[in-house]
Structure 1
Amino acid sequence: MKFLQLVNFVVMTTTNTNGDLSNKGPQHLNFEKIGPFLKVEKDKLTVQYTGPGNQYQDVGSIRSNARLAAEGIIDYFEIRILNQGKRNTIMIGLTAENDFVSTKHPGWDSNGYGYQTDGKIFNNSKHGKAYGPSYEAGDVVGCGLDYSKKELFFTKNGKHLGVAFSNLARLRFYPTVGLHSPNERIVANFVGPFKYDLESACEERTRIIESINETSQPVYTLNTLIRDYLYYEGYTESLSSFEQDLKIESKIPNEPLMKRREICSLIERGRVEEALKSLILHFPETVQLNPVSVPFNADLVTPQNILFRIHCQTFIEIIKNGDLLTAIEWARVNLGSYMNDQTLSSTEEKLFLDTVGLLAYETAVDSPSSYLLQDDKRSELSQDVNKLILKSLKQDAHSGLERIYMQLAVCKDMLGQESVGCGDVIKLNL
């Protein structure tokens, strides 16, 4: 994660304003779970009614392949009426995740909402109530769920028809279409472009963005975050320049900072054995193993798993240099003890087997374990060694900026899980 990107993210709160309201959600119709009287065409977006349409139970309903993404202010889709059929009894709307019935219109049950061709809207009813204009062949009908207001609305040929339902429950909804008379045929559009000007409709998005931009940040807080991040990453020269520019007296011991940066730099350049020697010399507690057997945990940065990974990475670097005999001897001396180590987790055991498995191939890049040869493995190890050194110095293993980022990421995920929406106002793709 680049420093300037992270600072920009926290200070300015990067927003998505390019019209891409969702990068997930429905892509096509669910052709595997459909009503008995429907025929889905090869494009997976066009469907036709083939039944008699004489009885209530003759309805054929189909929903999208995925639920609404619930990441933006508004989720929206459109349906074009290709053929209104014999009686024009099409219903367009939403059904909750566990309430879809392939022989019922959306809106007939309590957790479904529908807008029928006669202009009526339906929720837990087979009779409906007056709402808007009727629609027929050639018309494009849209359905939008506004998470910020908990409202459902419909459009016709790009025109907003007003709020149809309000105070919607926090459910996971699927776009749904019901057909009920011979030859009715529609085509769905889940990804745009749409007849309705969706971007202009997101007034709430604009309000949120403006309120974020108008929020002032105390200079002291920002300077503290930046200074903390520079220290965390070990950017000694940048930290020194930053403190000088702001006329801040440095209270951070310079030598441990420089040694920490030096060790991480050695790992990133593939000189892992040198890094280990420096760790032992300057931060011995980071590689001192507890005499009590402690199970390895891939999610924790401990002396046990760091030392294990350093040994594996050193072996990998020797293999990358093409020194097979040295690699074999080094593995015998330093990796042999892990052969029957019962404290290894499944993740660590896989790393061990993949590491020594590099010996089985004349050319390591042809091995299934060749992913270990990538430079990002050095970076991962370097970052965790950095955290362990900081912990040994009784300091936080995460910078303040990282913690803010992680908090925002969790909040964004929670919004999506609760189907509240608004998640795309903060974009976390650094």
Structure 2
Amino acid sequence: MRVNQKALAEKMSKIEAKLEKQIENGKHNNKNGLTANLENGMRAKQKAPLMENMAIAALFHFPLPIYRWNASDCHPKIVINESTNSIQRNRTGERFLGIRSCRAGPIKMPSASPISIIYTEYRILAENGPLFIGLSTKEMSLDFMVGYGPVSYGYANYCRIEGQNANGNDIIISENVPSFHSGDVVGCGLNLATRQVFFTKNGQHLNITNLYVDENTADLYPTVSLYNHGDAVEANFGPNFHYDLSKKF
């Protein structure tokens, strides 16, 4: 899917105008640094035809998290393939099925950022049972499914989105979302400015409007939970995605 160049140009023009106004009002201490970033963003806009689904934040060179699957934060029954950024539920030596989770890292939640979105997409490679994608803190055990464990937010393949706050209470349950299966690309993100969690499927934003992260929430990490032996996903940590992130600005 290619970016609508006219729409992208309009969005970037609005962002540029907003940054210029902020500079004039003295809202940022480092005026020279922001001006340089603005100029870089304008130059990047001229190269927009060469870019597909690139986050506006990347165009303006704001710092973005670098992701990787964390072998030390992954259930031993999940195998990581670093060359493809994929993970698979391992059947070796395990008689019964059960939820096994894996987190990627690091993700930081800066207290202030002009424009910043955390986002990861997952291509479903194999899916023969419950499968969950989302965000979690390290408080969530790797034997829990993301969205059901404490301080986590998850999208299940059986048409359900759920979140848990620090007290373990449900903060949202939605059964008005589509299911996903092998071949689908599912995304999960966090808008750091609004602290809103959002999900996508095959490049389309899902209409979940009231799923927010508490201000005192610890760092969140991209998380996948697999149930069935052989189930697998491939992560895309960016910057090119199926979903056009410029729509979130």
Q: TM-score, normalised by structure 1?
A: 0.40
Task: Give the C-alpha shift of residue 156 in structure 1.
Answer: 0.5
Match of 1:140 in 2: 185
Task: Give the C-alpha shift of residue 176 in structure 1.
Answer: 0.6
Match of 1:181 in 2: 228
Look up the equivalent residue of 1:9 and give its one-letter code. Answer: N
Decide whether the 8 Å contact of 1:63 with 1:177 is kept in 2: yes
Task: Give the C-alpha shift of residue 14 in structure 1.
Answer: 4.1
After superposing on structure 2, the runs of 4+ consecutive aligned residues of structure 1 that deviate more than 3 Å are 10-19, 21-24, 51-55, 68-72
Task: Give the C-alpha shift of residue 202 in structure 1.
Answer: 3.6
> For residues 185-334 of structure 1, what are the structure 2 equivalents within 5 Å?
185-198=232-245, 200-203=246-249
> For residues 338-353 of structure 1, what are the structure 2 equivalents within 5 Å?
none
Match of 2:71 in 1: 31
Distance 1:76 1:135 in 2: 18
Decide whether the 8 Å contact of 2:103 with 2:224 is kept in 1: yes
Task: Give the C-alpha shift of residue 73 in structure 1.
Answer: 2.7
SS at 2:224 equivalent:
strand
Task: Give the C-alpha shift of residue 11 in structure 1.
Answer: 8.9
Task: Give the C-alpha shift of residue 165 in structure 1.
Answer: 4.3
Decide whether the 8 Å contact of 1:79 with 1:187 is kept in 2: yes
Decide whether the 8 Å contact of 1:22 with 1:69 is kept in 2: no
2:202 to 142, 153, 157: 157
Structure 2: gaps of 5 or more residues = 1-28, 45-55, 165-169
- Is 1:101 the counterpart of 2:141? The answer is yes
Distance 1:14 1:77 in 2: 24
Task: Give the C-alpha shift of residue 10 in structure 1.
Answer: 7.3
Look up the equivalent residue of 1:102 and give its one-letter code. Answer: L
Distance 1:7 1:169 in 2: 29
Over alpha carbons, which structure has the higher Rg? Answer: 1
Task: Give the C-alpha shift of residue 131 in structure 1.
Answer: 3.6
Match of 2:121 in 1: 78
SS at 1:201 equivalent:
helix
SS at 2:208 equivalent:
strand
Which is further off, 146-155 or 110-119?
Answer: 146-155
Task: Give the C-alpha shift of residue 189 in structure 1.
Answer: 1.1
Look up the equivalent residue of 1:31 and give its one-letter code. Answer: A
Task: Give the C-alpha shift of residue 174 in structure 1.
Answer: 0.6
Question: Does 1 or 2 have the higher relative contact order (CA < 8 Å, sep 6+)?
Answer: 2
SS at 1:163 equivalent:
coil
- Is 1:92 the counterpart of 2:133? The answer is yes
Distance 1:197 1:76 in 2: 11
Q: Larger helix proportion, structure 1 or 2?
A: 1
Task: Give the C-alpha shift of residue 167 in structure 1.
Answer: 3.2
Decide whether the 8 Å contact of 1:60 with 1:179 is kept in 2: yes
CA root-mean-square deviation? 2.9
Task: Give the C-alpha shift of residue 69 in structure 1.
Answer: 5.7
Task: Give the C-alpha shift of residue 33 in structure 1.
Answer: 2.2
Match of 2:52 in 1: none
Distance 1:22 1:11 in 2: 10
Match of 2:6 in 1: none
Percent identity over the alignment?
Answer: 27
Say if 1:106 and 1:163 are closer, same or farther in 2 by CA, change over 3 A.
Answer: same
> For residues 390-401 of structure 1, what are the structure 2 equivalents within 5 Å?
none
Match of 1:9 in 2: 32
Decide whether the 8 Å contact of 2:64 with 2:116 is kept in 1: no
Decide whether the 8 Å contact of 2:102 with 2:142 is kept in 1: yes
Decide whether the 8 Å contact of 2:160 with 2:175 is kept in 1: yes
Say if 1:14 and 1:137 are closer, same or farther in 2 by CA, change over 3 A.
Answer: same
Match of 1:361 in 2: none
Which is further off, 167-176 or 66-75?
Answer: 66-75
Look up the equivalent residue of 1:195 and give its one-letter code. Answer: H
Say if 1:131 and 1:36 are closer, same or farther in 2 by CA, change over 3 A.
Answer: farther
Distance 1:34 1:194 in 2: 24
Decide whether the 8 Å contact of 1:8 with 1:14 is kept in 2: no
Say if 1:48 and 1:82 are closer, same or farther in 2 by CA, change over 3 A.
Answer: same
Q: In the comparison of the two structures, how many residue pairs are matched?
A: 191
Task: Give the C-alpha shift of residue 22 in structure 1.
Answer: 5.1
Distance 2:95 2:207 in 1: 30
Decide whether the 8 Å contact of 1:122 with 1:129 is kept in 2: yes
Decide whether the 8 Å contact of 1:114 with 1:121 is kept in 2: yes
Decide whether the 8 Å contact of 2:125 with 2:234 is kept in 1: yes
Q: Larger strand proportion, structure 1 or 2?
A: 2
Decide whether the 8 Å contact of 1:37 with 1:59 is kept in 2: no
